[in-house]
Each structure stands twice: as C-alpha cells, then as structure tokens.
Amino acid sequence: MIKPIVRIAPSPTGKLHLGTARTALFNYLFARKNKGKFIIRLEDTDKKRSTLKYEKNIISNLKWLGLESDAKIERQMERLKIYQKYASKLLKEKKAYLCFCSAQELDEERQRQLKRKQPPRYCGKCRDLSKKEIAKLKKEDRRPTIRLRVPDDRGTIKLKDLIRGEIKENAGLIGDFVIMKSNEVPLFFFAGVIDDSLQKITHVIRGEDHISNTFNQILIYEALGLKKEIPEFAHLPMILNSDRSKMSKRKGDTTTVEDFKNLGYLPETLINFMALLSWHPRRDDQKGKEDKDEIYSLQELTSLFKLEEVGKSAAIFDKNKLDYLNGYYLRRLKNDELKNLICPKHLAEGWKCEDKILERAITLVKDRMKKLSDFSELADYFFEEPVYNKELLIFKKSDEIYTQRGLGATTEELSKLKESDWEKQGRLEERLRKVVKEEKLNNGDVFWPVRAALSGREASPSPVELLWALGKNESLKRLDKALEALNKN
C-alpha cells in the first residue's frame, strides 16, 4: 500500500467527544500501521459556535491520548480565499449557481414537502436565473448562497466503502445543495473536499453519520474535475448510549475526553477501550495472546490494526468494561506514579500530598480503585479519625464480650510492640495471631474489631495493613477510642 495520509477533522464547537477521539484513534492506527501520516484539521466554518477554547481542548486532549498531528494544524477559516476561488470557478462553469432564496422561504418549502410526504429537497427555483434577475436581487441587498447544480442525468452514485462495501444512492434524490453560505464561508463538506484534495488525503475515515455527506462530496469532486482524487472512504459505526441512543452530551452522560480525564481515567484505558469498540484483533494475529485478555497498548494496537476488520454495527458504550480496564491500568502503576496522578487533583480538601501516610494509603487502596477520583472516598479514614459505633465493631459471628476481650487484649499486646517492629507487617500479624491463640478466640473476634476500629468501615484492607499504615501512635489512639465506644452502654 502507498503510504496513506489520513486526517481527523473536528469542528471546534465543543469539547473533544469520545466519538471524535475514537475516530481519531482509528485514523491514527491506520496511518501508523501503514507508515503514513495522521493530520489534524480544524473545521471551524461554523462561525457562531466555533471557539478557540474548544480548539485548545480538542488538540490538548488528543495529545493527552497520544494522538498528535504529523503536520501543521490548519484552520479552514484561515483558508477562505481558497474555497472562494474554487466556488467562483464552479460558478463560472455553471456547475454551481447563486441562490437568493431566504431561509424562511426554504423552510416553508420544506414544510410543504414534508406535509405532502415528499422528501424535502431544494426545488431549483434559482437554478436558471438570468443576469438581469440576479442584478436585481443583488440590488435588493439579498445575499446569495452558492448551490451546486446536481446534474439531472447523474443517476446512481456509487461509493466504495472500505468497511461496508459498495453503497449506492440515487443522485435524483439529492437536491441542489448549498456549498457556500451567504456570508461567503463554505460548508464543511465543500471545504473538506478541497482540503482533502490539497492535503493529498488518501483515506477518509470518519463516522457513519457522514455517509450521506459522502455522496454530496463525490458530486463536488466531480464538479471540480477532481474525480481522480476522490479518496477511499471508510465509515465507522457510531458509539451508542446504553439506551441505544446516539452518545451525546445530554445531562449526566460523560461524553468528553476531558470529563473522563477529570474523573481519573487514564489515557491507556481510553485508548484500549475505544479501540475495542467495533473492532477486535484477529485471533490468528495475536501471538501468545490466546484469547486470554483484552489488554492492548497503543503500540500493540498499531501493529495489530486492520481497517477491513472494523465492524459495521453500532457499539454501545459499556462503563463496566471501561472501569475494569482503568482498574487494571491503575493497578499496574508504580506507587509513586500513582501518587503523582492523585496529587493534588484527586485529594479531598485538607489532605496534603506531603502527608507521610499518603503513600501507604495508596499502596493499600490501589487494588480497590476504578478511577483516580475513587481515592478520596476509599482512603478518607487514613486522614480523618473515624466515628465509632458499637455495632460496627462487633463481628457478625461474634458478640460484645468476645469483641471486648479481643480488642482489649490486642491493644495491650500491641502497645508493648516497638516502633521499629511496627514497620514490619509480619511482626504485627504475629501479635494478632498470638492474641487469638492465647485468649482462645476466633480470628473474627480480633481481626474484625481491630480493622473496624482502625478504618471505621465494614470493608477495608486488613488490620495488619492498617496498623502498618497508620503507625503506632495513631493506631493505639484509635484502638483506645474504639474500646471506649464498645464499653459504653
């Protein structure tokens, strides 16, 4: 294969969406796999909604994911002259024409057609305006749009999609469509054709929602005399919400990469997750993997990826799987790496990154985290003394008397332990077992109340780990308080 040049063309009208990121990823994988180029291009022709803030958000989040452009990032609004030149060429060749219909007129026409159950399509009113008429309308200060004249005899447009095979559409169903707005700014699919051609884009890999635009674009290529430059197309399936609706920023839904980042998902997670939506490496291609797990780094994905293997049907976003993957990647992080990610962004108010206990808390809570933002909730008792209640302290298979004995004896035993021994979990465990044995108790009479006393929780790391993490002073303090609460009646 000749080295492909692909592009991701987001419009900066919102933050980087997961769907856009996935499209970017597939473009990137395809480019890298085939030693080609991956280019980011900003389609900012929607003047009302495009902002610099969103541009930055999109570019920086793509970068965060590891997807950087191999060429200068162009803005379409800075290339208006180019599009205007092409548009006037089309005008001159009568392949396009000025349309003076107002938005209101167009809308009324559409409504009429819809009422009559006809497909809405431009009627062609301005198709053959004479020079005189045009001059007159211009005098009235009407700002025209430019419409592409869809040839009456064009017939069936065929699109060879790399993922879906041949897709056909009858050109007769497509009315003459606007390529330049009345403010002389192109529509994205017109500008896109020109940019793709100028940037020598070989493959357009984008969302399925662009299939119908592709037919318009083919018509544009033909009108421009660029038929030979029509790139290959591949339309990726959509990502859907669990209710099967299009994944969008409706309230409550997490859809932007920034949101996932802020919640504490790692870029590796998102990459791994997105790649597995609509695609899975062939079994034969995976040496040594043997269907075991579905963990793939960006590098592995790059070597395994094949565009033709991408699925055709929409994929539902599954938060469970995302959380699983994130937990997996979090667990593989070294403790200090994890600390740097948690500090200071994911620490609850008042907690300090310098706190000595933080490192130990991290080692203990690590296995339990699905995302960085879980940390505060999972580890609060390391920083704040728990509130004690009697019921919690008593193991369900034990009772008050045994719990008092277990907790009391343990406190006494542990208070005899040297600070230096407190650093060794083995030593701590020895003592707990010793108490169980000497007092003729069950594990649950000792381990449970000690753990509950230290954490204030029904579920937590083991008492030995907590003793170790909290240190002698704090541990004994908590044990005493718990004992007090237990003796109160």
Taking CB under 7 A as the criterion, which residues in 152-191 touch RNA?
Answer: 164-165, 167-170, 173, 178, 181-183, 185, 187-189
Adjacent-strand bridge partners of 166: 160
Query: Among all residues, which ones are annotated catalytic?
Result: 249
Closer residue to RNA, CB minimum distance, 223 or 274: 274
The minimum distance between CB 460 and RNA, in angstroms, equals 5
Place of tokens 């808390």: 361
H helical segments located in 264-399: 267-275, 298-304, 319-332, 335-342, 356-365, 375-383, 390-393
Place of tokens 């009235």: 140
Q: Is 196 a residue that touches RNA (CB under 7 A)?
A: no
Q: Is 51 a residue that touches RNA (CB under 7 A)?
A: no
Task: Show contacts with RNA in window 220-279 (CB under 7 A).
Answer: 237-238, 240, 244-246, 276-279
Q: Is 80 a residue that touches RNA (CB under 7 A)?
A: no
Q: Is 139 exposed, middle or buried (0-12, 13-18, 19+ CB in 10 A)?
A: exposed
Q: How many Å apart are CA 342 and CA 472, to the nearest integer?
A: 26
Could you tell me how many residues of this chain bind RNA (CB under 7 A)?
88
Q: Is 172 exposed, middle or buried (0-12, 13-18, 19+ CB in 10 A)?
A: middle
- What letter represents residue 130's amino acid? S
Closer residue to RNA, CB minimum distance, 114 or 353: 114
Q: Which of 228, 292, 334, 488 forms a contact with RNA (CB under 7 A)?
A: 292
Q: Is 210 a residue that touches RNA (CB under 7 A)?
A: yes
Q: Which of 462, 468, 470, 482 forms a contact with RNA (CB under 7 A)?
A: 462
Name the segment binding RNA (CB under 7 A); options: 316-324, 337-345, 385-393, 419-427: 316-324
The minimum distance between CB 181 and RNA, in angstroms, equals 3
The minimum distance between CB 152 and RNA, in angstroms, equals 18
Place of tokens 């704040």: 384
Name the segment binding RNA (CB under 7 A); options: 30-38, 292-300, 354-362, 476-484: 292-300
The minimum distance between CB 283 and RNA, in angstroms, equals 5
The minimum distance between CB 175 and RNA, in angstroms, equals 8
The minimum distance between CB 403 and RNA, in angstroms, equals 11
Q: Which of 320, 350, 418, 426 forms a contact with RNA (CB under 7 A)?
A: 320
Q: Is 475 a residue that touches RNA (CB under 7 A)?
A: no
The minimum distance between CB 431 and RNA, in angstroms, equals 13
Q: Which of 34, 199, 213, 404 forms a contact with RNA (CB under 7 A)?
A: 213
Closer residue to RNA, CB minimum distance, 38 or 448: 448
Closer residue to RNA, CB minimum distance, 206 or 225: 206
Q: To 10 degrees, what angle do helices 211-223 and 188-198 make?
A: 60
Cis check: omega of the bond before 463, within 30 degrees of 0? no
Q: What is the DSSP secondary structure assignment for residue 99, as one 8-state letter? A: E
**What kind and span of H or E run contains 293?**
none
Name the segment binding RNA (CB under 7 A); options: 41-49, 60-68, 128-136, 258-266: 41-49
Contact 40, 8 (CB under 8 A): yes
Measured in whole angstroms, the distance separating CA 297 from the mean position of its chain's CA atoms is: 16
3-state secondary structure of 334: coil
Print the binding letters for residues 341-370 with RNA: x by CB under 7 A, - otherwise.
--------------------------xx--
The minimum distance between CB 441 and RNA, in angstroms, equals 10
Q: Which of 282, 416, 440, 488 forms a contact with RNA (CB under 7 A)?
A: 282
Q: How many Å apart are CA 190 and CA 195, to the nearest integer?
A: 9
Print the binding letters for residues 415-444 with RNA: x by CB under 7 A, - otherwise.
----------------------------xx
Contact 374, 342 (CB under 8 A): no
Closer residue to RNA, CB minimum distance, 60 or 363: 363
Contact 233, 239 (CB under 8 A): no
H helical segments located in 199-318: 211-223, 257-263, 267-275, 298-304
Contact 17, 214 (CB under 8 A): no
Q: To 10 degrees, what angle do helices 267-275 and 319-332 make?
A: 140
Closer residue to RNA, CB minimum distance, 332 or 352: 332
SS3 string of 190-210?
A: HHHHHHHHHCCCCEEEEEHHH
Closer residue to RNA, CB minimum distance, 191 or 417: 191
φ/ψ of residue 18, rounded to 5: -60, -40
How many C-beta atoms surround the C-beta of residue 309 within 10 A?
A: 14
Task: Show contacts with RNA in window 97-136 (CB under 7 A).
Answer: 101-103, 106, 110, 114, 117, 119-121
CA distances from 369 to 345, 365, 395 (A): 15, 7, 25
3-state secondary structure of 38: strand
3-state secondary structure of 316: strand
Q: Is 208 a residue that touches RNA (CB under 7 A)?
A: yes
Closer residue to RNA, CB minimum distance, 66 or 207: 207
Closer residue to RNA, CB minimum distance, 189 or 305: 189
Q: How many Å apart are CA 45 and CA 22, to the nearest integer?
A: 23
Name the segment binding RNA (CB under 7 A); options: 60-68, 87-95, 129-137, 206-214: 206-214
Name the segment binding RNA (CB under 7 A); options: 124-132, 219-227, 401-409, 452-460: 452-460
Which tokens go with 32?
């890298």
